[in-house]
Amino acid sequence: MRIAITGATGFVGRALVRQAVERGHTVAALVRPESAVVRPAHPAVTVTIGTLASPPWEDLVRFSPDACVHTAWITNAGVYLESAENRRYLDDSVAFVTGLIERGMDHVIALGTAAEYRPSAQPLHEACSPIEPRSAYARAKHELRLALSEHAHRVGAHLTWARLFQLYGAGEPAARLCSTVVRRIAEGKPVTLTTPAALRDWIHVDDVAAALLRLVESRADTVVNIGTGVGRTVAEIAVTIAGLLGRPELIAPVTVPADGLCPLVSDPTRLRGFGWVPRVELETGLARLIEDLR
């Protein structure tokens, strides 16, 4: 297949480009001008320089994608949740995706977030779990799904809305939790966790990329959770990292609150129906991250 990928030099985008090529697909990688120095280099990858706001339409039309995986978004840790940039990415994404559809592409896979859901002690299911986006980031993603769904339905295109749960892995932004814990422990510094009991569904970026490609190849037209279905607390993740580095004493004792945990764990039944299963065990994925950061 011919797949256009936005955010191709980002965390998810890099893993997706690599796996798409390995599976025999041809890729058009949308790369921002300032990121061109790290552009993907492979005969099956066509680099198109531009942005969501100023797309390289001639290059994209010439490439003639069968599908587009839209991964580009603001993801700066500590900033993205309430950033005003979320509104700009929402507007630019709607214009870009509808522009592609108007130019003949009929399948888009766009990334949503588990934070669109209302936190629940029960696994979150696409068909019945309440939607309650609480941050500017989650609200923008939710609004994007509604806008793209309405447009796709009107013109007969396919939309796959992939709600990503807690990503981690080699190549992740430096300020994310796992990388931060790895660096501090490697430097011999203690780690004090602010939300040790927060329960999340941790999924390796390579498993995310594999899931997205399954959805591309199946031409799915639905909302799909991208998660493992297994919940682990922030404290469990930190303790696992500390154990892998041989410094468990650097995790400071924590007091687990009795409420307010806001768990976000997926029900992955729908995703598994497309033939996907996670391949990267948690300890293996964290060990890869540690090696990548050395």
* Inter-residue contact 26 to 52 (CB < 8 Å): no
Residue 37 carries which side chain, given as an amino acid letter?
Answer: V
Fill in the DSSP letter of residue 119: P
How many alpha carbons lie under 13 Å from residue 234 in its C-beta half-sphere?
Answer: 24
DSSP H/E element including 6? strand 2-6
Torsions phi, psi for 56 (to 5 deg): -85, 75
Is residue 195 very low, low, confident or very high in pLDDT (cuts 50, 70, 90)? Answer: confident
CA distance 30 to 20: 15
CA distance 280 to 287: 11
Q: What is the mean pLDDT of residues 98-125?
A: 96
Q: Which residue has the tokens 């790369």?
A: 31
Residue 13 carries which side chain, given as an amino acid letter?
Answer: G
At a CB cut-off of 8 Å and minimum separation 6, what does 72 contact?
A: 6, 7, 10, 13, 30, 52, 89, 93
| DSSP-assigned letters across all residues of 105-141 | --EEEEEEEGGGBPP-SSPB-TTTSPB---SHHHHHH
% of the chain residues with pLDDT over 90:
86
**In whole angstroms, what separates CA 161 from the centre of its chain?**
11
At residue 255, the pLDDT reads 63
Domain range list for the chain: 2-167+202-226, 169-200+231-266+280-293
Q: What's the CATH number for 169-200+231-266+280-293?
A: 3.90.25
For 240, counting Cβ atoms within 10 Å of its Cβ (0-12 exposed, 13-18 middle, 19+ buried), the class is buried
At residue 41, the pLDDT reads 66
More confident residue, 194 or 218: 218
Is residue 257 very low, low, confident or very high in pLDDT (cuts 50, 70, 90)? Answer: low
At residue 252, the pLDDT reads 84
What dihedral do alpha carbons 230, 235, 240, 243 form, nearest 10°?
A: -160
Check whether 101 has a pLDDT greater than 70: yes
CB atoms within 10 A of CB 262: 16
At residue 77, the pLDDT reads 77
Fill in the DSSP letter of residue 290: H
Residue 189 carries which side chain, given as an amino acid letter?
Answer: K
Assigned fold of 2-167+202-226: Rossmann fold (3.40.50)
Check whether 19 has a pLDDT greater than 50: yes
* Inter-residue contact 250 to 129 (CB < 8 Å): no
At residue 258, the pLDDT reads 47
DSSP H/E element including 167? strand 166-168
Nearest to 69 by CA among 142, 8, 144: 8
**What mean pLDDT value characterizes the chain?**
93
> Strand (E) positions, the chain?
2-6, 26-31, 45-49, 67-70, 107-113, 158-164, 166-168, 199-200, 202-204, 223-226, 232-233
At residue 75, the pLDDT reads 86
How many alpha carbons lie under 13 Å from residue 74 in its C-beta half-sphere?
Answer: 21
At a CB cut-off of 8 Å and minimum separation 6, what does 131 contact?
A: 116, 117, 118, 142
Check whether 254 has a pLDDT greater than 90: no
pTM as predicted: 0.94
